[in-house]
Structure 1
Amino acid sequence: MFTGIVEHIGTVAEYKELDETLSGGNGVSVTIKDAAPVLSDCHIGDSIACNGICLTVTEFDSNSFKVGISPETVSRTDISSWKTGTKVNLERAVSQDVRFGGHYVQGHVDTVATIKSRTVDGNSIVFGFKLGEQSYEKFIVEKGFISLDGTSLTVTTIDDDGTFYIAMIKHTQEHVIMPLKQVGDLVNVEVDVTGKVIEKQIEVHLQAQIADSKSSLSQLIGKIVEEKVRNALNK
């Protein structure tokens, strides 16, 4: 679990596609350097969010660490665009004494979004984004949380076509990679898990109600159908 408060910016030192016979197909191995601030208490198997992607440390030294990335993660995120020199946001998994300054971030990227606009507004930069998968638009709400490249941000407004916006203050600009990106670049998106949990609970509840002929919902649906049929016959 993460908070979306980026601790440090690292640099991709090596991006290596793994042999299909060893990795199961199209996985990659990435080494990230300039990472000393997040490695002081590191252990093999620890989770570090890299641009919002929860990845497992397989090797490390005082300044760099290596992660293996599955084909599914590569296909769902912006990892395929990484190369030597790419800057990435880094955050260690939360510990017992971490202040929860952002929001609950799993590190499980849902999809990517394209930067559609970038506008300076005083000391802030307003970014506009369009999701790659429209099915996630229902989880993005005005003034709600969203994780973009692992950064906890607040949605300021949403256009009718689903384009959503965030305003990034000067302090955040100095500590994350977003200002390095341009219109047309991709960002990793993790929507607020609360919305997904609520949707699933409602779906399960409705299915159970519909399956039970004695439930209040089934009885209500039955009455509505009977009334519609009766009205149709009386015409």
Structure 2
Amino acid sequence: MFTGLVETIGTVLEYKSLDTSETGGNGVSITIGDCSSILGDVHLGDSISTNGVCLTVVEFDEARTQFKVGVAPETLRRTDLGDLGEGSKVNLERAVTSEVRLGGHVVQGHVDTIATITNRQADGNAITFTFKLRETENINYIVEKGFIAVDGTSLTVTHVDYDTFEFSIMMVSYTQGKVIMPLKPVGGTVNIEVDLTGKLIAKQIDVNLASQIGNPDSALARLVDRLVEEKVAKALGK
């Protein structure tokens, strides 16, 4: 679990395609450096959020200045990590501990979809970014003033357009210097993780409705039957 508060920006030192690997085959390995500030307590098997993707540390150097992760094919399909290359900058955050203040929101590091930057506009010393979702059904879990993780950064949604499948956030000056998003142009991509709470509520509603519809004695089924009877009676003039 993560907070969405990026700790440092790392640099991809090596991006290597693998035919067979610990990632399950046809994945890649990525070595990331310039991140000694978060590796002082690193252990093999630790989780580090990399552009919002929860990845497992499989190797690190003795000086603790760089680490290596493996990326499975499914992760490459779900995220834009496949677009990285040597020299790419990435947001990094270690998994939370019991002593960490939850200053952002609960972030799993399980990316839901990719979004494309469709607009960026200065607003004083802040920047408003607008994004369009690739898997458009995820717009249903995004609400104005709600949480969202963009490349692993916890941000507040400022606007949602459910017709165009777009949403916007505003990034203050302080955050701009701590994350990679200001480096990305219009047309660039980001990893999106919607708020888990919304997905859980939607799933509970779906399951509950399916259960009631399938039960002729449920309150919902009886209500539907009554409404249908009233409509039929009205149509027949009774």
2:223 corresponds to: 220
1:30 corresponds to: 30
2:208 corresponds to: 205
1:179 corresponds to: 182
1:141 corresponds to: 143
2:72 corresponds to: 70
Given the two structures, how large is their TM-score scaled by the length of structure 1? Answer: 0.95
1:59 corresponds to: 59
Report the secondary structure of 1:102's partner residue: coil
Report the secondary structure of 1:72's partner residue: helix
Report the secondary structure of 2:110's partner residue: coil
Separation in 1 of the partners of 2:44 and 2:58? 6
For residue 95 of structure 2, what is the amino acid of its counterpart?
Answer: A
Gap runs ≥5 in structure 2: none
Report the secondary structure of 1:99's partner residue: coil
Q: Deviations over 1:125-164 (max 9, x none)?
A: 1111111111001111111111000000011112342321
Q: How many residues align?
A: 235
Q: Where in structure 2 are the equivalents of 1:2-151 lying within 5 Å?
A: 2-20=2-20, 24-61=24-61, 62-151=64-153
Per the TM alignment, residue 204 of structure 1 is displaced from its structure 2 partner at its CA by 1.0
Separation in 1 of the partners of 2:84 and 2:123? 29
Q: Deviations over 1:11-59 (max 9, x none)?
A: 1111111114875442111111111111111111110000000001111
Q: Which moved more, 1:151-160 or 1:179-188?
A: 151-160
CA spacing shift, 1:23–1:40, aligned 2, 3 Å = closer
Report the secondary structure of 1:214's partner residue: coil
CA spacing shift, 1:22–1:32, aligned 2, 3 Å = closer
For residue 57 of structure 1, what is the amino acid of its counterpart?
Answer: V
CA spacing shift, 1:21–1:162, aligned 2, 3 Å = closer
Q: Which moved more, 1:22-31 or 1:93-102?
A: 22-31
Per the TM alignment, residue 80 of structure 1 is displaced from its structure 2 partner at its CA by 1.1
Separation in 2 of the partners of 1:23 and 1:51? 18
CA spacing shift, 1:22–1:191, aligned 2, 3 Å = closer
Gap runs ≥5 in structure 1: none
Report the secondary structure of 1:209's partner residue: helix
For residue 120 of structure 1, what is the amino acid of its counterpart?
Answer: A
Separation in 2 of the partners of 1:201 and 1:82? 37
Report the secondary structure of 1:176's partner residue: coil
Separation in 2 of the partners of 1:202 and 1:48? 33
Report the secondary structure of 2:200's partner residue: helix
CA contact (8 A) 2:115 2:134 kept: yes
CA spacing shift, 1:191–1:6, aligned 2, 3 Å = same
Report the secondary structure of 2:6's partner residue: coil
Q: Which moved more, 1:142-151 or 1:205-214?
A: 205-214
Per the TM alignment, residue 79 of structure 1 is displaced from its structure 2 partner at its CA by 0.7
For residue 103 of structure 2, what is the amino acid of its counterpart?
Answer: G
Q: Which moved more, 1:86-95 or 1:206-215?
A: 206-215
For residue 206 of structure 1, what is the amino acid of its counterpart?
Answer: L
